[in-house]
Amino acid sequence: MGLVNWGRVITAMATPFDSQGQLDEPGVGLLVEHLFRTGSDGVVVCGTTGESPTLSKEERLRLFELTVRAARGRGPVIAGVGSYDTRESVALASVAAKAGVDGLLLVTPYYNKPSQEGLYRHFRTVADSTDLPVMLYNVPPRTGVNLEAATTLRLARDARNVVAVKEASGNLIQATEIVAGAPDGFLVYSGEDALVLPMLAVGAHGVVSVSAHVVGCDLAAMHAAFFSGNVAEAARLHARMLPVVRALFQPTTPSPVPLKAALRLLGLPGGSPRLPLVEATDRERDIVQQALASGGYLKV
């Protein structure tokens, strides 16, 4: 497979729901439009931020189709098809390919906590089942298992279409090991919005971001500043965005609950999260509102 260029800022897109908790199909198009207009180079659909564990196979297929249609070729649409069942991930990869997506995001299997050899075989099996390029997704706080640097590099070498990793371990040493050992063209993306600039400093290509729903233009500007050599400006933008990032990742509630509160404040489609997630409390919502307002992202 040739080199893949997915851009610097990829947004892990929320799934808009209507007042009845069903897919808000017009809202999907509006949200995709907002993201491409405010700094996103591409989107991930049906990832963790998209509440993928609560989506049926039929809903995922519809979301793939709607997002591809709304993107109109302006950037890659990467479909989240990972699960803790390898056979299910293979089946979802096939569904996503038929919907016309540009790539796949495969999260580390959660709950069953496979060994490193099990992780390798899982990812290799799914990757070998498709011609689409694959981004691995390592997020130990969510899954309970770490995809070690050695396993990521083994997959990058052995599987022709494993072309990137979203590294959300928060471990800069591990990220450095991946960057240093990766084959040419393999892309490392930050999966931690609070660590984007440090990740770029150790060789990451970009970010798969939640906060890009709100601060996408500043994220894009930070990447442009960093890669043009203006590190001081990149650091200024990093600090400007940090309060919003902290508000969207509060210790009292999981993402994307604060994000959905932010979308509502900004008048963007999102709706309420699906159970077992519940809406932000008044205090959590106030924290989001204060961060957006003080950063100039919300007109009050």
Report how far residue 33's alpha carbon sits from residue 213's, in angstroms, rounded to the nearest whole number: 11
DSSP of 36-87, one letter per residue? HHTT-SEEEESSTTTTGGG--HHHHHHHHHHHHHHHTTSS-EEEE---S-HH
Q: What is the dihedral of CA 104, 110, 112, 117, to 10 degrees?
A: 50
Looking only at the bridges linking them, the beta strands covering 9-12 and 206-209 are parallel
57 included as an active-site residue? no
Q: What is the dihedral of CA 52, 264, 295, 222, to 10 degrees?
A: 40
Interacting residues of 77 by C-beta distance below 8 A, sequence separation 6+:
42, 43, 45, 64, 67, 68, 71, 100, 101, 102, 103
Tokens of 284: 């959590």
137 included as an active-site residue? yes
For the chain, how far is it from start to end, CA to CA, in angstroms? Answer: 49
Which is the catalytic residue, given 110, 120, 137, 189?
137
Q: For 181-298, where are the E strands, in sequence order?
A: 187-190, 206-209
Cβ 80 vs Cβ 95: under 8 Å: no
Which is the catalytic residue, given 110, 120, 166, 260?
166
Distance set, CA 244 to CA 108, 213, 247, 249, 290 (Å): 27, 11, 5, 9, 9
Interacting residues of 262 by C-beta distance below 8 A, sequence separation 6+:
213, 214, 247, 248, 288, 292
Q: How many CB atoms lie within 10 A of CB 284?
A: 17
Catalytically annotated residues = 137, 166
